[in-house]
Amino acid sequence: MKKSLFIAFVLAMAATTVFGQKGLYKASLTKVETQGKITADSTSIKIDSIGNVFNPHYLFTDKNIEVNWQYSLNDFDFELKNFSNQTIRLLWDEAAYIDKDGNTHKVFHKGVKFMDRENAQPATGIIKGAKLSDLIAPTDYVYYSEGSYGGWRQLNLFESPKKHTLPAFDGSQVRILLPIVISGVTTEYIFTFTVKWAEEINKKKKS
């Protein structure tokens, strides 16, 4: 019961009011590029909505890896599976988040303290048949707030629109670059996400 109430509270806080109605942003994986070539689009990317219809998982698979993505408020969560017959390595220092305006941001991942986010991050090795559960977030979306109630803060990836303003990120695209070393060769995977504003329609009760 307490967990359900907490989830409802989080969703309520994530939603905001636009023109008197509530909504939130959703990010869908719509394209994957490998070494500059499109290897998957919205027709071939699998969608898994079991357990969460409103924020599904998006799966990309090739002969070497499978990546399962899910958007969170201030990061992208993912699970990376190694289908190859040898260890692969994810190069964090070369990974990047590209915002809707094309600006490239350095990223950090799970286990990295906020204060250490700008430091070098060792590559993560994933042996054959294994998987990695992690997240990716831009380092410059984190800041330290001074004062009595200060502390580390993390901005949402997509700023919620203020009341009576249009959602600025609606229809935009962001990208994530994951460089992965496979068989001694670095393969650059670029994942493109399309951002949509999902508005909650308030239905009037019939009298």
User: What pLDDT, on the 0 to 100 scale, is given for residue 172?
Assistant: 96
User: What pLDDT, on the 0 to 100 scale, is given for residue 2?
Assistant: 45
Q: In degrees, to the nearest 5, what angle opens at C-alpha 43 toward C-alphas 74 and 52? A: 40
Q: How large is the average pLDDT for residues 64-90? A: 97
User: What pLDDT, on the 0 to 100 scale, is given for residue 201?
Assistant: 58
The half-sphere exposure of 9 on its side-chain side, counting CA atoms within 13 A, is 6
Q: Does residue 8 lie within any of the structural domains?
A: no
Q: Does residue 116 lie within any of the structural domains?
A: yes
Residue 21 has pLDDT above 60, yes or no: no
Domain span at residue 135?
16-199
Q: Does residue 78 lie within any of the structural domains?
A: yes
Q: Does residue 205 lie within any of the structural domains?
A: no
Q: How large is the average pLDDT for residues 83-101? A: 98
The count of structural domains within the chain is 1
Q: Does residue 10 lie within any of the structural domains?
A: no
Q: How large is the average pLDDT for residues 4-19? A: 46
User: What pLDDT, on the 0 to 100 scale, is given for residue 9?
Assistant: 47
Q: Which two tokens stand for residue 132?
A: 């990695």
Q: How large is the average pLDDT for residues 186-201? A: 90
Q: How large is the average pLDDT for residues 53-77? A: 93
Q: Does residue 9 lie within any of the structural domains?
A: no
Q: Name the residue among 110, 109, 189, 195 with its Cα closest to residue 157.
A: 195
Q: Does residue 94 lie within any of the structural domains?
A: yes
Q: How many other CB atoms are there within 10 angstroms of residue 83's CB atom?
A: 13
Tracing tokens 């689009």 back to the chain, one arrives at 41
Residue 7 has pLDDT above 90, yes or no: no
Q: How large is the average pLDDT for residues 33-47? A: 93
- Per-residue model confidence as pLDDT tens digits over 114-160: 999 999 999 999 999 999 999 999 999 999 998 777 899 999 999 88
Q: Does residue 153 lie within any of the structural domains?
A: yes
